[in-house]
């Protein structure tokens, strides 16, 4: 009990400091920009762990950057309820080049959760002209739903695999037809020294023919491949190991890479990883990164004229395929490794396009 007076004094000191900050701001004796308010907020009001404070600071900074972009200012008086709503819409609508959302629902909710107490603290000390700008901003209802409608279509799957096969002829070659016209054929154009057509082809086949996550693809070791049984066991999200079934065609693509291309890079890296970076890559440890998987996928999708689909779209396509084939949630769960069967059940949903087709086919 002897510690109580100290705690009371500390709180009283903190309250006095915040009142002084507010008084300075309201009197015009101190800057009234939100970046200054954030600094005061962390100095006088935030008591969470340092790691948590870093996340809070990043989220508050994201909002202020948005405000500075659209309002050309971070003045406290410019923060209105409509600006908060516009920021929420911005976060939910922002898309990457591949069509996926920049921030998912949980991230949006986290940012909102950090903005609310900050706005309330400022409102208490220096009321906003139009009231607390975050009081009516609601978080997004987060469910276990998946973006099933972003799965690659059968026609897209065919074009992507065809484009992957064409890599063996055209992948990494110079695009200058005029410079190498004397050869009279595509094969006359030289190929980049570090380009790995067999590897890239095998990676795309692995994504499509297993439904594996891109991170898991980078974690496959050479020893994880069971060619006779058509299985790949790999460390998945959360650290658990999961065994994927892979089609004969997919396994043949991996086998071809191992025989035709991998030994060249393995001579340098001596890595257990299945898919290796080119030996010419000076900034690699040998194992590919998820970003490299994205680049490979995007290159082939561009050649296949497939837009707005990510490597994860192949995972969704596998779930849809198995559900149509077996009508069995357990089969989807077994292949994709969902710990929660609720995720697997999403593949039994009817997509908007399927519903339209059904309504129009009468």
Q: Are 209 and 314 found together in one domain?
A: yes
Residue 69 inside a domain? The answer is yes
For residues 188 and 109, membership in a common domain is answered with: no
pLDDT single digits (tens) 1-33: 333 333 334 455 455 555 666 565 555 555 789
Q: Is the pLDDT of residue 309 over 50?
A: yes
137 is a domain residue:
no
Both 181 and 90 in one domain: the answer is: no
CA atoms within 13 A on the CB side of 338: 21
- The mean of the pLDDT values for the chain is 85
Same domain for 37 and 174?
no
My answer on whether 73 and 179 are in the same domain is: no
Q: Which of 108-117, 149-158, 320-329, 351-360 has the lowest mean pLDDT?
A: 351-360
pLDDT in tens, 263-294: 999 999 999 999 999 999 988 889 999 999 99
Q: How far is CA 166 from the centre of its chain?
A: 28
160 shares a domain with 114? no
The pLDDT value given to residue 113: 92
Q: Across residues 167-178, what is the average pLDDT?
A: 75
Q: Are residues 107 and 170 in the same domain?
A: no
What interhelical angle do 197-210 and 290-304 show, nearest 10? 90
- Return the structure tokens found at 134: 């975050």
In this predicted structure, the answer to whether residue 186 has a pLDDT above a threshold of 60 is: no
* φ/ψ bin of 172: left (φ > 0), alpha (ψ from -120 to 50), beta (otherwise): left
Q: Are residues 210 and 342 both part of a single domain?
A: yes
* Same domain as 247, residue 111: no
Q: Would you place residue 158 in the very low, low, confident or very high pLDDT band (cuts 50, 70, 90)?
A: very high
Same domain, 161 and 121: no
* 141 is a domain residue: no
Q: Are 286 and 267 in contact (CB under 8 A)?
A: no
Whole-model pTM over 0.75: no
Range of the domain at 89: 8-125
* Pair 117, 224 in one domain: no
Summarised one tens digit per residue, pLDDT across range 116-129 is 999 999 999 889 99
- pLDDT given at position 170: 87
State mean pLDDT over 237-256.
93
In this predicted structure, the answer to whether residue 182 has a pLDDT above a threshold of 60 is no
Instruction: Say whether both 193 and 298 belong to one domain.
Output: yes
Residue 140 belongs to some domain of the structure: no
> Per the structure block, which two tokens stand in for 267?
């001579």
Domains identified in the chain, total number: 2
In this structure, the number of other CB atoms found within 10 A of the CB of residue 193 comes to: 9
Contact 284, 277 (CB under 8 A): yes
CATH number (domain holding residue 260): 1.10.443.10
pLDDT for residue 179 is more than 60: no
């Amino acid at each position: 009990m002897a510690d109580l007076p100290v705690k009371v004094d500390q709180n009283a000191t903190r309250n006095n400091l915040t009142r002084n900050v507010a008084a300075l701001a309201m009197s015009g004796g101190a800057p009234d920009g939100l970046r200054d308010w954030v600094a005061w907020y962390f100095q006088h009001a935030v008591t969470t762990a340092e790691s948590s404070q870093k996340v809070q600071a990043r989220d508050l900074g994201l909002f202020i950057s948005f405000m500075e972009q659209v309002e050309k200012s971070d003045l406290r008086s410019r923060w209105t309820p409509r600006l908060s709503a516009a920021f929420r819409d911005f976060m939910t609508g922002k898309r990457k080049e591949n069509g996926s959302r920049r921030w998912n629902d949980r991230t949006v909710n986290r940012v909102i959760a950090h903005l609310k107490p900050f706005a309330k603290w400022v409102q208490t000390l220096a009321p906003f002209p139009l009231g607390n700008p975050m009081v009516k901003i609601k978080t997004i209802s987060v469910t276990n739903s998946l973006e099933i409608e972003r799965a690659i279509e059968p026609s897209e799957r065919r074009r992507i695999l065809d484009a992957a096969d064409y890599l063996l002829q055209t992948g990494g070659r110079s695009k200058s037809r005029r410079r190498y016209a004397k050869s009279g054929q595509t094969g006359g154009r030289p190929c980049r020294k570090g380009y790995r057509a067999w590897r890239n082809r095998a990676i795309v086949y692995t994504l499509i023919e297993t439904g594996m996550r891109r991170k898991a693809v980078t974690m496959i070791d050479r020893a994880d491949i069971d060619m006779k049984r058509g299985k790949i066991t790999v460390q998945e999200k959360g650290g658990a190991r999961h065994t994927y079934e892979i089609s004969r065609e997919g396994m043949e693509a991996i086998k071809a890479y191992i025989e035709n291309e991998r030994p060249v890079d393995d001579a340098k890296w001596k890595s257990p990883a299945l898919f290796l970076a080119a030996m010419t890559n000076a900034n690699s440890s040998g194992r590919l990164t998820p970003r490299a998987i994205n680049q490979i996928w995007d290159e082939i999708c561009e050649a296949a004229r497939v837009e707005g689909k990510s490597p994860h779209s192949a995972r969704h396509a596998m779930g849809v395929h198995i559900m149509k084939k077996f009508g069995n949630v357990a089969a989807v769960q077994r292949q994709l490794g969902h710990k929660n069967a609720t995720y697997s059940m999403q593949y039994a949903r009817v997509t908007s396009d399927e519903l339209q087709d059904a309504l129009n086919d009468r």
